[in-house]
Structure 1
């Protein structure tokens, strides 16, 4: 007769299993004899100590192991026979009033089960799908960015103006007293890019190399330097150098600098378009993945196993610590509160319960051709694409990343094909500004 599974709260369950003492004693005797054969006890050759002495030294430990093992085996048997989907075993408790001389040893197993997930009606989902196009204007905008990245600055003797790079000395005082961070020498920056406060930059425009000027600047209330926030300072500024920006021409040399061996400008534009299109697709795809996953989470309501949420929160905390370490911070002893990660952990756990069912019921597993296509796409941006492809396929585990991306794409495409979708056309700037 199967043991009764008791419902506690939410997804917690309890089952009491029983093991016959006769089975416990038989297994105990068996293990005691096995231990005796190897036991090293002073005054006796290995394996020749009296069984009673071995029992005195190791008996308690052996019995504890036997009770744990047989109770666990009984629990596992019940779980299999009753087809229970366990999320995690929380604890094992002694059963009160279980007499030592009774026929059975009893133990209570408290565990969490996985929730029953019924897939929502996907046709009822409302999803906003991001779309964007890459045309000549976007290509030209990108080329202009690439030109600015290769800007050269040439010294000029005229007055400073926006887009010039200036090198200055400055000293700031509040009520006639210098303050921390308010003084610098040979400080370079480009006018008109918002690197300095507007009043500060405005005071420099019109000055020539060697000229000085006192400029009054009021710091904003939310200025990051709390000691000077909402205060007015007078900066004495001396211009040491004024340099005008010179952007490279879009010519053969520029094309070669971008990796076009023969310097063909038309080829360069095609290459820029291909790269920008790939990046725009990657970013819009990322937004659409987020939109689909959010819609799936919102459409399903069920209890989450707290053990899985806590485990995922711990994993996220560890990831953040590793990120800190990679940034050069000493974070090995940092204790991050798990509450910081619970919400995100709940989102991950919920999707982790929904997606396998969605994939299985709708046969969304990726094909070998899909995985290979993603690997080929990865390889395109490398100097030797075939070398990259060979590297991936040399070890099946390396294909886990491309396989997961293909699976994710299948899920997104399937959900969008069923849901009520509204397309939102994004500008190139919006796409590139998205995190």
Structure 2
């Protein structure tokens, strides 16, 4: 049995010294060498007939390293369990070369442990639940959005203005180094559509087919993706074409295109309102959930393991790089500093640990019925919901996402039962635009 001593380096850091006797491992080494000898090929010997000494000469060091490495893994796991330590991240293992060991080998494992997570007094927490009663005007606004979503465009010879669709070729550079280019392939943009900084679209006003523009955009410090935050980007743009919007009439044909078979406009508006009720409920729940999560972060204080924050920072950086690739930007050309992601990484790590503690302590894991209800809610928007449900249940791993979301709903309900919850009236536009 390995000898173990544990040293407290800091609040979360531990240094564990473990001595592993070699005698019990020698039998494993001999057994492994005998297995190799049955198939090993050596000049002058038939397979399986080579002397064990020759096998040891060729494979002994390799086998010894494998057995000793496995012993490190096993003894560390046993030591952690015996000392009731919850290891955060991967340990740093240090030891002398295995070949220098005599009767035992010693190694030192340095690692962090998870902190104790104690949630504060949630009875003092104030949560505002958005309250909204849909009106006919809200339905009309949504109908207007549906009309605009079905817009078509016709070419014009005039200069571009807001709501026009322009086709442009574009190159972008930072400090003289190109970071994005459409090449000779034009891309379509609608001037004024959400998702871009307004200064960019403003610079595209007044352009005619065949004209060119060069302009600089300095992105705000809180811009997403973070790699462009605070950066000045130079754009060279050539206008290929300018087209103006043409909107459909709200008539029976329009209603049929929305799925109303008889084209009745009143039925169409009724169905729009029903869909809005579901969407409003979904957004209110999302708002409340985020308020609850923020309260849990604010009301809980503990030291975060550096290893966990580092892992989450790396995850965020990889996600940002993937986002850039999807936008046609080479992430290697955009400097990404870990410090930019650290604040978000700390919040994510802290929230995850708090949620885990609450779920385990208060038995808030989702039940099978709750998971099924979540899957059914996913399937509602599909033409063949039964097929989607079958797909989820065909592989138990696919249920991880709905199970996690259902468990989060349990946490939210648990917190709301303890917190001070008040309803706050909210405007339709404010709710629908948030996070759009």
TM bucket (normalised to shorter chain) is: 0.7 to 0.9
Distance 1:323 1:188 in 2: 19
**Do structure 1's residue 287 and structure 2's residue 319 form an aligned pair?**
no
The 1:32/1:420 distance shift into structure 2, 3 A limit, reads: same
Q: Give the match for residue 18 of structure 2.
A: 17
Most deviating of 69-78 and 143-152: 143-152
- Report if aligned partners of 1:321, 1:334 keep a CA contact under 8 Å in 2: no
Offset at residue 291 of structure 1 (A): 1.6
- The alpha-carbon deviation at position 302 of structure 1 amounts to 1.4
Aligned mates of 1:331, 1:73 — CA distance in 2: 40
Match of 2:304 in 1: 304
**What's the counterpart of residue 132 of structure 1?**
132
Q: Hey, what does 2:426 align to over in structure 1?
A: 426
Cα 1:397/1:266, change in 2 over 3 Å: farther
- Tell me, yes or no, if the aligned pair for 1:255 and 1:265 is still in contact at 8 Å: yes
Q: Which segments of 5 or more consecutive residues in structure 1 lack a partner in the other structure?
A: 156-161, 168-186, 202-218, 229-240
Structure 1 residues 24 and 296: alpha-carbon distance in aligned structure 2, compared to 1, 3 A threshold = same
CA distance in 2 between partners of 1:329 and 1:47 (Å): 57
Displacement of 1:374: 2.9
Per-residue deviation, 1:22? 2.5
Report if aligned partners of 2:248, 2:254 keep a CA contact under 8 Å in 1: no
CA contact (8 A) 1:89 1:111 kept: yes
How much has 1:151 moved relative to structure 2? 5.8
Deviation of 1:243 (Å): 8.4
1-structure distance, mates of 2:73, 2:428: 59
SS in 1 for 2:260: coil
Question: Which of the two has higher C-alpha Rg?
Answer: 1
From the superposition, tell whether residues 227 and 144 of structure 1 become closer, same or farther in structure 2 (CA, over 3 Å). closer
Output the aligned Cα RMSD: 4.3
Deviations 1:226-258 (A, max 9, x none): 799xxxxxxxxxxxx998977613x42332121
Instruction: After TM superposition, give the deviation of residue 150 of structure 1 in Å.
Output: 4.5
Whether contact under 8 Å (1:86, 1:114) holds in the other structure is yes
Give the secondary structure class of the aligned counterpart of 2:58.
Answer: helix
CA contact 2:16–2:108 (8 Å) conserved in 1: yes
SS in 2 for 1:38: coil
Name the residue aligned to 1:72.
73
TM-score (norm 1): 0.73
Question: Separation in 2 of the partners of 1:327 and 1:220?
Answer: 19
- Deviation string, structure 1 residues 287-312 (Cα, Å, up to 9, x no partner): 22222111111211112222222222
Contact 1:95/1:108 (8 A) holds in 2: no
Counterpart position of 2:64 = 63
Q: How many aligned residue pairs are there? A: 382
- 2:363 equivalent in structure 1: 363
Contact 1:364/1:407, CA 8 A, preserved across alignment: yes
User: 2:109 and 2:151 mapped to 1: Cα distance?
Assistant: 69
Partners of 1:318 and 1:386 in 2: how far apart? Answer: 35
Change (3 A) 1:227 1:395: closer
Q: Conserved in 2, the CA contact under 8 Å of 1:359 and 1:365?
A: yes
Checking the alignment, whether the CA contact within 8 Å between 1:18 and 1:71 is kept in structure 2 is no
Q: 1:393 to 1:52 in 2, by over 3 A?
A: closer
**Matched residue SS, 2:112:** strand
Judging changes above 3 Å, is the alpha-carbon distance between structure 1 residues 243 and 116 closer, same or farther for their aligned structure 2 residues?
closer
Name the counterpart of 1:118: 118
Give 1:62 deviation, angstroms.
2.3
Corresponding residue of 1:416: 416
CA deviation string 1:30-76 (max 9, x = no partner)? 33333333332222222322333322222222222232222332222
- Seen in structure 2, the aligned counterparts of structure 1 residues 406 and 21 have a Cα distance that, compared at 3 Å, is closer
CA contact (8 A) 1:163 1:244 kept: no
- In the TM superposition, residue 355 of structure 1 has moved relative to its aligned partner by 1.1
Contact kept in structure 2, 1:165 and 1:245, CA below 8 Å: no
Cα displacement string for residues 90-135 of structure 1 (whole angstroms, at most 9, x for unaligned residues):
2211279xx955x432221222212121232221223333333322
Paired with 1:124 and 1:286, the residues of 2 have a C-alpha distance of: 22
SS in 2 for 1:119: coil
Name 2:264's counterpart in structure 1: 264
Corresponding residue for residue 206 of structure 1? none
How has the CA–CA distance of structure 1 residues 42 and 132 changed in structure 2, closer, same or farther, with 3 Å as cutoff?
farther
Find the residue that maps to 1:266 and give its secondary structure.
Answer: helix
1:6, distance to aligned residue in structure 2 (A): 0.9
Distance 1:294 1:71, change over 3 A: same
Cα distance between partner residues in 1 of 2:63 and 2:14: 29
Change (3 A) 1:261 1:384: farther
- Asked if the contact 1:163/1:245 (under 8 Å) is kept, the reply is no
In structure 2, C-alpha distance between the alignment counterparts of 1:242 and 1:68, rounded to whole Å: 68
Question: 1-side partners of 2:406 and 2:262: how far apart?
Answer: 36
Q: What's the counterpart of residue 6 of structure 1?
A: 7
Q: Distance in 2 between matches of 1:71 and 1:151?
A: 66
User: Counterpart of 1:343?
Assistant: 343
Partner of 2:42: 41
